[in-house]
Chains A and B, each alone.
Chain A
Amino acid sequence: MDDLDKKSGFLTGGKVTRREVLKTGVIAAAGLTLLPTVLAACGSSSSGGKVTIGNNHSDASDLAGMKAVNDAFSKANSSITLTMNTVDHGTFQDQINNYLGATPDDAFSWFSGYRMRFFADKGLATAIDDSWDKVKSNFTAGFANSVVGNDKKVYGIPVDYYPWCVFYRKSLFSDKGYTVPATWDDLLTLCAKMKTDGLTPFAFGDSDGWPAMGTFDILNLRLNGYDFHVGLMTGAQKWTDPKVTAVFQTWAKLIPFYTDGYAGLTWQQACDTLVRKTAGLYFLGLFMTGEVATVDKTAVDDIDFFPFPFFKNAFDAEQALDAPIDIWMLSAKSPSLQADLASAKTYLEFWAKGSTQLLMYAANNGFIPCATDADPTTLTVLTKKAVEIVSKAQKITQFLDRDTRPDFAGANSMQSFLLNFLKTPAQDLVAFQQSIQDFWDKLPAYKG
């Protein structure tokens, strides 16, 4: 009986304890939920305020730039407490839906153009027209247009951009006597010559899926013009169009010159082959100079570039190119945004200054400041040349995954389609293009 009593005692004891545990748990949970509210109340009562930011500039050099910017911001606005959450660049993009739809930070780094409008239309971003009115004199019309939503409201502050060009090493060109190709035919001739010289003519690494998009963009812009390209990206034109077939057929001529094993290489590894002079040319965004500096600092001064060669057609005059713009935006569903709105806007306005953008530029020369008052004398020769090429361009696009719907540009959609083409360029292109168009047609309705 003694033994049994003990056991039942254990049972009753367990009951009490369990209830107490539950009680404690509830109190603790209540405490946890209350705590931020209390803190927020404290924050708003003192005149300063707070702002939380979601940052996708996760590479070491960019992160150093972010830190410099935030330090400068805190110095200028000592009453505002700034909290930064940095998420890996790729992960940030993958999770953007969940992030913006749940409890995002007040402000977040993102991309301009269609990719900004898509999320603004979903009601996941807050318009910042009042802030924009204060700072818009610091931006040219091209930048201003890139941050306007479909509802004509402004959703972002442009902070940097980078053109997509063909990069090469000057010393390699002078050693081998190569000249910069002006036309597509020149490019193919040069590539053939490089191949006989034992080089990989065209460095390429498409493990991440998006680098191939840049080549599609530029070939479509060169062969079919800006209007058709934009129409294709927004769904006004069909992927089954013979003009698209022409793009793929032209591209097929370049594929034999690509790095062996490009589908398994990242863009950084492909970039390294250019730095080590085993590859002759590399088509990528200006940000590749950051990777060059990582591999070999002395090689940066030896890097030069030219716009993607022309096809001697009516569209040459456009001098079009991809020059994606990075921006800062305000989220809509941040639980603290109401309290933080003023300081969050102060933060975005701070980004509109040339001096702020130059802090970021100092950390990574691959990203060119957008602000007009960014002191041009501080730019490197290479950056000045990039600025010049972009300013000559009559038409500027953002990049395939920024100019079209994000659900069309993902890993198992456009990235996979392009890899599929690169793998078998001789396939039945009509059927291939039809499968792309079918995928587009089945996407949820959205008027971009």
Chain B
Amino acid sequence: MSQSEPKALAPAPASAGAGALATKKRKRRYSLLNRRDKVLLSLMVGIPLAIFLLLIWAMTLVSIVLSFTNWDGVNPIAFVGIDNYTQLFTTYPFFWPAVAHNIMWLLFFVCLATPMGILLAVLLDRPLRGSAVYQSIFFIPVVLSLAVVGFIWKLQYLPLAGNGFIDSAFVALGWMDPKHAVNWLGDPTINIWAVLVAASWRHVGYIMVLYLAGLKSVDPSLREAAAIDGANERQTFIHVVFPVMAPINVVIVVVTVIESLRAFDIAYIINHGKNGLELLSILITNSALSEAGLIGFGSAVAVILLTISLVPIVLYLSRVMRSENQ
């Protein structure tokens, strides 16, 4: 290491400490990096970038290309144009149900599970005896993996013939006629709702913790000021706390959308996504990653899921960039 280097680097920590140096000085700082630093820096940025490009974007592009083929994973790749897409949109009977179920999942989370989590967070944020106990109780499902959640709820929902807990309990309590016991997982008009309840059981706790962390960081003097101005608790939350929580709110929305789009585990555990539990992610798995090996067909579903996912991603990014510009 040359003697001059420590000096050359001197402004870097200083500027980081000061935080608001003029752009001119910043430019100078970069120009002062010697060759070795530049190589090092480009390696440090380049390697993760290359990994990212290779593992995310290259794979995405490959998926898009494969969606126009009927590759089976082994034999030579043959292009079939938009055949996979026309099949999905027209004759394949499990595609639209999968789209519908993903949308139902999103709406259920946005309209019920997420508000429920926020409500719990607001309630538990108040001085309350045993708040930590309640928090733990609601948070425990989040610690469990979705595969375990799926397994737990599968046991609850089993039909009477399989000794499911809910049906057995309802019959024992006389709330249900054993001759017309509800088939929670087998009835294709009901099972998606049963699964949504199971998924929400976990999601509510997740949202609660995220929101609670945000609430704890709200400056108490704001509430005080609102109270002095005569605002009641509801008004304080709606007009003061909620707006202050804007960054957390965005995170909550993004988390909710992501959880809905990547819905997979519970339905897959229950019946591999058949019979009313079709989901886009499971269609991909069952087509492309199972014994079927329909990689082209599965890729087409993946591209559609990607397209749907792009909508919230673009909305989120545009919001983030707008706030950065301000």
B-binding residues in A (CB < 8 A): 1, 4-5, 7-9, 11-12, 15, 93-98, 101, 122-124, 200, 205, 207-209, 259-266, 269-270, 272-273, 278, 406-413, 415-417, 419-420, 423, 434-435, 438-439, 442-446
B186 and A264 contacting across the interface, CB-CB below 8 Å = yes
Q: B325: CB under 8 A from chain A? A: no
Interface class of chain B by DSSP: loop
Candidates A15, A261, A278, A444; contact of B75 at CB < 8 Å: A444
B94 and A416 contacting across the interface, CB-CB below 8 Å = yes
A-binding residues in B (CB < 8 A): 1, 5-6, 9-10, 13, 36, 40, 70-75, 78, 83-84, 87, 91-94, 157-162, 181, 183-188, 191, 270-275, 278, 282-283, 286-287, 289-294, 296-297
A423 to B185, CA, bound (A): 13
A94 and B75 contacting across the interface, CB-CB below 8 Å = no
A101 and B291 contacting across the interface, CB-CB below 8 Å = no
Known: A15-B40, A94-B289, A207-B185. A423 touches B275 (CB 8 A): yes
CB contacts (< 8 Å) of A415 on chain B: these are 272, 274
B271 and A209 contacting across the interface, CB-CB below 8 Å = yes
The 8 closest A-B pairs by CB, nearest first: A264-B186, A261-B159, A263-B186, A264-B185, A261-B183, A407-B292, A438-B91, A269-B162
Known: A7-B9, A97-B73. A435 touches B92 (CB 8 A): yes
A101 and B93 contacting across the interface, CB-CB below 8 Å = no
A419 and B292 contacting across the interface, CB-CB below 8 Å = no
Closest Cβ–Cβ distance, residue B40 to chain A (whole Å): 6
Question: Tally of A-B residue pairs with Cβ under 8 A?
Answer: 177
14 example contacts (A-B, Cβ-Cβ < 8 A) are as follows A7-B9, A93-B290, A97-B291, A122-B75, A207-B185, A261-B161, A263-B271, A264-B184, A269-B158, A272-B162, A278-B161, A406-B291, A423-B275, A438-B87
B274 and A419 contacting across the interface, CB-CB below 8 Å = yes
Candidates B36, B158, B293; contact of A265 at CB < 8 Å: B158
A412 to B73, CA, bound (A): 18
Candidates B9, B158, B297; contact of A11 at CB < 8 Å: B9
Closest Cβ–Cβ distance, residue A430 to chain B (whole Å): 13
A74 to B152, CA, bound (A): 41
B296 and A444 contacting across the interface, CB-CB below 8 Å = yes
- Smallest CB-CB separation from A434: which chain B residue? B91
Known: A406-B292, A412-B94, A416-B94. A123 touches B275 (CB 8 A): no
A264 and B294 contacting across the interface, CB-CB below 8 Å = no
A412 to B187, CA, bound (A): 17
CB contacts (< 8 Å) of A94 on chain B: these are 289-291
Candidates B40, B87, B186; contact of A442 at CB < 8 Å: B87
- Smallest CB-CB separation from B291: which chain A residue? A406
A438 to B91, CA, bound (A): 7
CB contacts (< 8 Å) of A123 on chain B: these are 74
CB contacts (< 8 Å) of B181 on chain A: these are 260-261
